[in-house]
Amino acid sequence: MRTKFKAWAEPYINEHPEYALSDEEISLLDDFYLEIGSGKGDFLLKMSAKFPERKFLGIEKNVTCAGITLKKLVEAESSNVKFLYKDAAEVVELIKDKSVNTLYLNFSDPWPKKRHTKRRLTSVSFLDEYKRILKNDGELIFKTDSDDLFDFSLEMFEAANFNIKSVTHDYDGLDEEDAQTEYELKARNKGLTIKRVVVGL
Ligand SMILES: C[S@@+](CC[C@H](N)C(=O)[O-])C[C@H]1O[C@@H](n2cnc3c(N)ncnc32)[C@H](O)[C@@H]1O
């Protein structure tokens, strides 16, 4: 579902650089939790409130979604979160090796057309980078309501030699180390099942 463009978002982002990071600051991050494609930020907000001792970084490339997330972070005065309005492809390459505890991909865009395969956040070029930035005992956790994207992603994780730790085709959402996202709530309200996979190195 497309988010309606909000003209206030970009000026708001420019007025709140306190949640952003320079390229150098990105390259110095260590021991943190990363969400790629944060949407309107509910997961980031809930997880950072639930685990105040952890450091989080969210990345979102849609200006309106980024503005909405940032507004929530500012209003909540979240102090253990950084947030970037950028394409993840530009950010991940700056992150240092073995620095990420958990990488969350929540309801990533399915990009169903074959010619758009490379844009999927579980396509091979992204997975190579995820392997590089995850700590040895780090995990990547992927949730989706899309059967096709889930099957594709499982194949990609296997092909990239990730260690598949758990696969759930009807995830109940009750893991303490998790929080519900906007898309997840909508999917559950429609009666759709949620698929979830946890992988490590
Ligand atoms: C389907 S939405 C899900 C949003 C949220 N994670 C949720 O579960 O409600 C996917 C989001 O990922 C963002 N996204 C997709 N590709 C991205 C990329 N390469 N870098 C940053 N954000 C990306 C989109 O802009 C969109 O907001």
Q: Which residues pair with 200 in a beta bridge?
A: 139, 163
Residue span of the structural domain in which 153 resides: 21-200
28 pLDDT more than 90? yes
Does residue 5 lie in a domain region? no
Please check whether residue 16 lies inside any domain of the structure. no
Residue of 87, 109, 137, 178 marked catalytic: 109
pLDDT digits (tens, 9 = 90+) for 109-156: 999 999 999 999 999 999 999 999 999 999 999 999 999 999 999 999
Residue from 47, 72, 107 to probe ligand 1 pocket by mutation (most atoms less than 8 Å from CB): 107
Does residue 1 register a pLDDT over 90? no
**Crossing angle (nearest 10°) for helices 147-159 and 124-133:** 60
Q: Judge whether 103 lies within some domain.
A: yes
Strands (E), the chain: 32-36, 56-60, 81-85, 100-106, 134-144, 163-168, 195-200
137 catalytic per annotation: no
12 lies in some domain: no
In a domain, 119, yes or no: yes
The CATH number that applies at residue 194 is 3.40.50.150
13, part of any domain:
no
What does pLDDT average to over the chain? 97
33 CB less than 6 Å from ligand 1? no
SS3 198: strand
Count of domains forming the chain: 1
Is the pTM higher than 0.75? The answer reads yes
Q: How many Cβ atoms from other residues are within 10 Å of residue 178's Cβ? A: 19
- pLDDT confidence of 2, banded at 50, 70, 90? confident
Is 126 within a domain? yes
Candidates 42, 59, 60, 185: which one to mutate for ligand 1, based on the most atoms within 8 Å of Cβ? 60
Task: Report yes or no on 3 lying in a domain.
Answer: no
83-109 residues labelled b (16+ CB within 10 A) or e (exposed): bbbbebbebbebbeebbbbbbbbbbbe
